[in-house]
Structure 1
Amino acid sequence: MQNKQFIYPSKLQPGDKVAVLSPSAGLPEIFPEVFDLGLQRLREQFELVPVEYPGTRKMNTSPEERARDIMAAFADSEIKAVICSIGGDDQIKVLKYLDAEVLRTYPKPFLGYSDATNLHMYLWNQGIVSYYGGAIMTQFARYHAMDDYTVESLRRALFLDGEVEILPAPEWSDENYPWNEPEKLRLRVPMFTNPGWKWHNAGRVIEGPAWGGCLEIVDYQLRAHRYLQPLERYKDCVLFLETSEEMPSSAYVYDVFVGLGERGLLQQFSALLVGRPKAWEFNQKLSAEQKEVYKREQEEAILKALREYHPSIPVVFNMDFGHTDPQFMVPSGGHIRIDGIEKRVFVRY
């Protein structure tokens, strides 16, 4: 299969049924109020009908159980898309129980991020475009209201075809709602003015299919080396990466990039898009100054690795995807055009 032979699954219509699954953690069981708000938004703002499966609201399901839910959702002709409830940390264990032929026969839009990187990569290997972002308990269940920027991107991913320019969000946040303190759920999280994206090695136009996701899950994939494709499959693709709420150190980020470089994988990509790092969590409440240091150190670690393995690659830092809000949906396997001359980014949904 050549790089550019990716299938865009059919778009949805209002009234369609959508599978809501927990292929990673079953947090809807622990935080049903948050999950139910996300389902309500799916119904009211997007006019879609959520369909739950046996493991959707169940913690500690086995990888086999989660795989059965995934396969049942994809094989059901009435289900027009599949959306993750939330992420987790062990979805890679599910992949060996999937039936690739069924997924290729019944392609449909898949949304999720973080640990869902695993399933995005599995679908990528089958030549199916999926959409990195938009989990029910995070983006849909933003308590005060969904972010307009996220809503617009979700609508494009779910309902609309064609290329669109991605612009920086007007404001952003990396701080969370305290799900275990219901009295605080309806407070606004602090939002910060977006200074824009940061370009490195700009000056030419690059285009190709996207591959990537959460850096820590990419690291899982590198270590397992079970689902990676031959290096030539990634030639001239656009790499997109971001880090999670675990807030990995700059040394760890550098090490993962070294792994990509030593494998010869990093050198295959024609451009790199980097999501804005999440630099706040309940157990690491960094100040504004500390956040800037964290982000700068991560950027420097990435640039250090790139100087060693791929010094000419164009990079766009601090983009609005991943573990900060709002998000644009990154079309994994979908076409991305990066105009480094005009400093503009376009994606095909």
Structure 2
Amino acid sequence: MTHLQKPPALKPGDTVALVSPSSGLAGEVDIEHRVTTAIQRLEQDFQLKVKVMPHALKGLDYVQKHPQKRAEDLNNAFADPTVKAIIAFIGGDDSIRVTEYLKPDIIKNNPKIFMGYSDATSLHLFLYQHGIASFYGPAILTDFAENVSMDDYTTHWIRRTLFDDAPLGNIPTSPYYHRFGLLWHERTHHTPRPTIYNHGYEVINGHGTATGQQLGGCIEVLDRLRNSTVFPDAETFKDKILFLENSEAPLSVPLLAAFIEFLGTSQILKNVNGIIIGKPQNGEHYEAYKRTWQAMLEDLNLHDLPVFYNASFGHNEPKCIIPYGATASLDASNKTFTIHDNACE
């Protein structure tokens, strides 16, 4: 069993640091209204103080060219005793460049919440490698800046996961999802995004109950990282619950098939106890992805491996939070996803 150091839970009055470890989008002028909205909600709805780290709002060009400055913001946020949580503004595509400048000793000696999704997978795996729990969950420009108001499902799981030290328990899917594509113009910021009915989990493979610690991330990022220093070896996946989801750009079916083949040939799929897969953005290729998983698991002779589909995390709004290393169960008979551990202490 992998032991990860858990951070203290948040409480009203705590300070949260905002960082741009992947993309400098938050620093662009036409995004300023979303930054303002998200900060107001952190302060008013969650009663938190906000500290924007020095390089987080320097724009796309600067942030892309200065991975060491992104790392400096992260190192300083972990070292700052007043900061209790760190949240990414948005994903991107190269946070792996930040990891070589991170200081593990500072991070390990100052455990605190780090949360983000998508390209933040690189940072989560770095933290996992160094024994630090982290949180695959909401980002500032997406969830905290949601048009009109934050979603109740998202805020519920933020409070239950980050502000509480009790076991998380049963996590159902969100009753609805937002269709991706309403542009982030200021003129549409007060226009609610349409909601679409969402159904519960689908069990697309296997049977019984699978239990294990959670490990995973965004498929496209994991695929890029497979030969990197942060990608876990096959043995690390032993007895884990693998969580996977794809980004907002529809993943081609051949690329998904190639990724599943990699998981199979590298023995990762034989090592895990179960898999939970996030709903594709907008439900795009929903049936094609499902059939691809089913066919390839059949070819790999993994008929008994429990696989859940249509989960509400990652590139979905609303979303829950997946704590790395927390013990979870997939009960195929009852179609329930349960996290048995507390995420924070």
TM-score for the superposition, normalised by structure 1: 0.92
Greater alpha carbon shift after TM alignment, 65-74 vs 252-261: 252-261
Greater alpha carbon shift after TM alignment, 322-331 vs 226-235: 226-235
Q: C-alpha displacement at 1:265, in angstroms? A: 1.9
Structure 1 segments of 4 or more deviating over 4 A? none
SS in 1 for 2:305: coil
Partner of 1:51: 51
Whole-angstrom distance in 2 between the partners of 1:14 and 1:32: 25
Partner of 1:206: 210
Partner of 2:27: 29
Whole-angstrom distance in 1 between the partners of 2:102 and 2:23: 18
Q: How does 1:46-195 map to 2 (within 5 A)?
A: 46-59=46-59, 60-61=62-63, 62-163=66-167, 164-179=169-184, 181-195=185-199
Q: Deviations over 1:170-190 (max 9, x none)?
A: 1112324311x3212211111
Whole-angstrom distance in 1 between the partners of 2:315 and 2:298: 26
The code of the aligned residue for 2:18 comes to V
Whole-angstrom distance in 1 between the partners of 2:335 and 2:225: 31
Tell me if structure 1 keeps the 8 A contact 2:117–2:138. Answer: yes
SS in 1 for 2:100: helix
Q: Deviations over 1:297-337 (max 9, x none)?
A: 11112222222333321011011111111000011122212
Q: C-alpha displacement at 1:120, in angstroms? A: 0.9
Q: C-alpha displacement at 1:131, in angstroms? A: 1.1
The code of the aligned residue for 1:318 comes to N
Q: Which of 278, 290, 302 is the aligned partner of 1:275?
A: 278
Q: How does 1:265-304 map to 2 (within 5 A)?
A: 265-279=268-282, 291=283, 294-304=285-295
Tell me if structure 1 keeps the 8 A contact 2:26–2:89. Answer: yes
Q: C-alpha displacement at 1:145, in angstroms? A: 0.8
Question: Cα RMSD over matched residues?
Answer: 1.5
Q: Which of 315, 327, 336 is the aligned partner of 2:328?
A: 336
Partner of 2:42: 42
SS in 2 for 1:346: strand
Whole-angstrom distance in 2 between the partners of 1:307 and 1:243: 22
Whole-angstrom distance in 2 between the partners of 1:340 and 1:312: 11
The code of the aligned residue for 1:125 comes to Q
SS in 2 for 1:161: coil
Q: C-alpha displacement at 1:228, in angstroms? A: 2.4
Whole-angstrom distance in 1 between the partners of 2:71 and 2:287: 39
Whole-angstrom distance in 1 between the partners of 2:202 and 2:53: 42
Tell me if structure 1 keeps the 8 A contact 2:222–2:231. Answer: no
Partner of 1:311: 303
Whole-angstrom distance in 2 between the partners of 1:201 and 1:229: 24
In the superposition, relative to structure 1, how do residues 177 and 203 fare at CA in structure 2: closer, same or farther (>3 Å)? same
In the superposition, relative to structure 1, how do residues 9 and 239 fare at CA in structure 2: closer, same or farther (>3 Å)? same
Whole-angstrom distance in 2 between the partners of 1:196 and 1:297: 18
Whole-angstrom distance in 2 between the partners of 1:188 and 1:199: 32
SS in 1 for 2:16: strand
Whole-angstrom distance in 2 between the partners of 1:17 and 1:176: 32
Aligned residues: 333
Tell me if structure 2 keeps the 8 A contact 1:273–1:319. Answer: yes
Percent identity over paired residues: 34
Tell me if structure 2 keeps the 8 A contact 1:173–1:189. Answer: yes
Whole-angstrom distance in 2 between the partners of 1:256 and 1:206: 22
Greater alpha carbon shift after TM alignment, 87-96 vs 331-340: 331-340
SS in 2 for 1:97: coil
Q: C-alpha displacement at 1:83, in angstroms? A: 0.4
Q: C-alpha displacement at 1:57, in angstroms? A: 0.5
Tell me if structure 2 keeps the 8 A contact 1:131–1:157. Answer: no
Partner of 1:13: 11
The code of the aligned residue for 1:36 comes to T
> What stretches of structure 1 of length at least 5 have no aligned partner?
280-290
Partner of 1:346: 338
Q: Deviations over 1:39-79 (max 9, x none)?
A: 11111111111101111101232111101111111111111
